[in-house]
Structure 1
Amino acid sequence: MKISFVIPCYRSEKTLPVVVGEIKEKMQSMSNYDYEIVLVNDYSPDNTFGVIRQLCSENKNIIGINHAKNFGQHAALMAGFHFTTGDIVVCLDDDGQTPANEVDKLIEKIEEGYDAVYAEYEHKQHSGFRNWGSHLNKKMTEVMLGKPKELYVSSYFAVRRFIVEEMLNYTGAYPYVIGLVLRSTKNICNVTVNHRERMEGTSGYNLKKLLALWMNGFTSFSILPLRIASYSGSIIAFIGFIYAIYVIIRKIVDPTRMLGWSSTISVILILGGLILLVLGLIGEYVGRIFISINNSPQYVIRNVINYDAGDDSKN
């Protein structure tokens, strides 16, 4: 059997050789498996692609992919999937926090019959902001995508080949790998691994990128936000109807009583805000549909190294 490692790379010129070296060392002890490593440079501003080029020249089992601009981690994974040939595909980070030397734990679970295996961390070494974002992402996937509460999803996971093939059938402009896995199989489990401190730099996920990632999950794989908006509108309309009846009855009982302008303005502001929120949500869906029907690409590849039986002519 063959294992394909896919690693999205961004600002990892110093950590990437360590991660690749750890994979190579681990695979020497797993001699019953062949392997390949697909490194996807997501338009990193440092010398990450230069390091990838050097690694590819040293090992023909390493494929280097260079994006023409930054498309994000999930688009980089999708790009890497297109170049994999393994029976099992393992995805991990480029910063060394996900222990490549524990990949055998994920593979063992795949061998037991699971379609997908996610690494679960006993003690996470992320920052407080990143942990907060992970918690919100966990809740979002549970509500919007139907993820089981007991399942922990992370960036370190292994899937069978048919899951990758199913994910590649998705050609939308906004890929969300977790959603693609969850819609492909329910035969998923967790395995506990160590989580290390970051060797270099800080996380590339800021608030803007986290919001964009969540929006992908909201709008690409679920219509639940639209349903929530419809339910909210119905509830507000019902409350408004009841309040109108109350005002009419109160006016009949006491004709001299004046209506309060402050309460009227408050109701107008609440309803106006809700309408704008729903319109914005609908606009987000329509905008993404428009971008998708215009065949906006998930990613654009500038060049590839070591692909097609070692042919470097694409470089």
Structure 2
Amino acid sequence: MDAERHAHARPLLSLVVPFYNESAVIEAFFNAIVPVLCGIPDIDYEIVCVNDGSTDATLDKLLAACQADFRVRVIDLSRNFGKEAALTAGIDEAEGAAVIPFDADLQDPPEVIPKLVAQWRCGYDVVLAKRAERRTDTYAKRGTAALFYRVHNAISDITIPDNAGDFRLMSRQVVESLKQLPENRRFMKGLFAWVGFRTAEVEYVRSPRIGGKTKFSGWKLWNLALEGLTSFSTLPLRVWTYIGGLTAGFAICYAAYLIIRTWVRGVDVPGYASLITAVLFLGGVQLIGIGVIGEYVGRIYMESKRRPVYIVRDTYRLGRR
């Protein structure tokens, strides 16, 4: 009887949403997302809200939503660990047969979710929500994003789809595969691509933020890009072998030229300007190489500590804490 009831049970869909100082959008978020999830036929859902160390009223509003709806769960982290860690915490806690990472700012339209579920029901393990265009981004952000995807996919064995963020549907098998990955420094878009599985795409148009402001400054985006490039490729290290070889080859050729010129024309006084230029150029090249090596050594150092990706202060759900 239990097996028969389980066979006819409606699948559970988990929506994983990181929150960091998003008190201004929480009410609008639930007003927009709940009707869409309720409208998906033959499916149950839960909303896993991860409070990533917010300093405003975010936690209080999330707890109010949790008390009003048993399908809302709140994971309260002990401090701000960053979006990648908060996303990891939500995915670890999600119980659904399918899991969808989602942003609280509603730039990703909730109306796309039923389309993702429809493709999942067709047998796909991963359904990407891919932006048809990026009009809501600044020109600089569009250009740097395109450059990042082009460079990353050129130097890495893992291809990250262009214009696809964290918004996607993943089956339980994909989620369990992600949970096996042990690294502390996590670049989630790369990890999503690394696990593979059968993938479909759904295109959509992104909307402006409904409130608040983005938590990703230009500096944070730059660091995230470095994280992505160094997480899935060693080419930045390997390329310095070729740079060193070319520089040494050029030096040998130039030395041979000087010897021949001295034989033919005699000895002349070398120029200070050319000498100092060569010294500064080679010094700069060496420092860049050391910086690239340092980036990888730093990653090794952080990973060797084996610290947890996040720490949960408390979890909340209706009638239980």
Q: TM-score, normalised by structure 2?
A: 0.89
Q: The residue matched to 2:211 in structure 1 has which SS? A: coil
Q: 2:72 aligned with 1:62, yes or no?
A: yes
Kindly indicate whether residue 268 of structure 2 is the aligned counterpart of residue 257 of structure 1.
yes
Corresponding residue number in structure 1 for 2:114: 104
Q: Does the residue aligned with 2:310 lie in a helix, a strand or coil?
A: coil
Q: Which moved more, 1:203-212 or 1:232-241?
A: 232-241
User: Which is worse superposed, 132-141 or 88-97?
Assistant: 132-141
Q: Equivalent residue of 1:258, what SS? A: coil
Report the AA paired with residue 95 of structure 1. D
Give the equivalent residue in structure 2 for 1:281: 292
Q: CA deviation at 1:294?
A: 1.1
CA pair 145-45 structure 1, distance change in 2 beyond 3 A = farther
Listed one character per residue, the Cα deviations across residues 221-274 of structure 1 (whole Å, up to 9, x for unaligned) are 221211122222222222222222222222222113332222222222122111
Distance in structure 1 (CA, Å) of the matches to 2:160 and 2:184:
28
CA distance in 2, matches of 1:126, 1:151: 15
Whether 1:208 aligns to 2:254 is no
Contact conserved, 1:19 with 1:100, CA < 8 A, in 2? no
Q: Secondary structure at the match of 1:156?
A: strand
Identity %: 29
Give ranges in structure 1 of 5+ residues lacking alignment. none
Q: CA deviation at 1:151?
A: 4.3
Aligned to 2:5: none
1:6: which partner in 2? 16
The equivalent position to 1:152 in structure 2, one of 160, 163, 175, is 163
Q: Give the direction of change, closer, same or farther, for the CA distance of 1:140–1:9 in structure 2 (3 Å limit).
A: farther
In structure 1, how many angstroms separate the alpha carbons of the residues matched to 2:294 and 2:85? 23
Distance 1:293 1:13, change over 3 A: same
Question: Greater CA radius of gyration, 1 or 2?
Answer: 2
Report if the CA contact (8 A) 1:120-1:153 is conserved: yes
Task: Supply the distance in 2 between the matched residues of 1:2 and 1:145 (Cα, whole angstroms).
Answer: 35
Q: Is the 8 A contact 1:3 1:34 kept in 2?
A: yes
Counterpart Cα distance in 1 of 2:270 and 2:24: 69
The root-mean-square deviation of aligned C-alpha atoms, in Å, is: 2.1
Q: Residue type matched to 2:76 in 1?
A: N
| Matched letter for residue 79 of structure 2 | K
Partners of 1:116 and 1:160 within 8 A in 2: yes
Q: TM-score, length-normalised on structure 1?
A: 0.90
- Counterpart position of 1:27: 37
Q: Is 1:302–2:310 an aligned residue pair?
A: no
User: What are the Cα deviations for residues 101-152 of structure 1, in whole angstroms up to 9, with x where unaligned?
Assistant: 2211222222333332222223431334443443233224313434558643
Cα distance in 2 for residues equivalent to 1:259 and 1:75: 57
Answer whether contact 2:24 2:212 (CA < 8 A) is retained. no
Equivalent residue number for residue 320 of structure 2: 312
Compute the displacement of 1:12 (Å). Answer: 1.3
Q: Is the 8 A contact 2:22 2:58 kept in 1?
A: yes
Are the aligned partners of 1:151 and 1:189 in contact in 2 as well (CA < 8 Å)? no
Q: What's the offset of the Cα at 1:26? A: 1.1
Aligned pairs, how many? 310
Query: Which residues of structure 2 form unaligned runs of 5+?
Result: 1-10
1:213 Cα shift? 0.9
Shift of the 47–127 alpha-carbon distance from structure 1 to 2, 3 Å rule, reads farther
Taking the aligned partners of 1:145 and 1:160, their CA distance within structure 2 comes to 25
Match of residue 17, structure 1, among 27, 34, 55 = 27
1:145 and 1:167 mapped to 2: Cα distance?
A: 19
Moved over 6 A (4+): none
In structure 2, how many angstroms separate the alpha carbons of the residues matched to 1:106 and 1:240?
58
CA distance in 2, matches of 1:48, 1:129: 31
Rounded Cα–Cα distance in structure 2 between residues aligned with 1:12 and 1:191: 27
Which residue, 251, 257, 269 being the options, matches 1:246?
A: 257
Letter in 1 for 2:40: M
**For residues 130 and 62 of structure 2, what CA distance do their matches in structure 1 show?**
28
Kept in 2, the 8 Å contact 1:151–1:190? The answer is no
Provide the rounded CA distance (Å) in 1 between the counterparts of 2:199 and 2:156.
14
**How far off its partner does 1:311 sit?**
6.1
Aligned partners of 2:212, 2:63: CA distance in 1, in Å?
Answer: 22
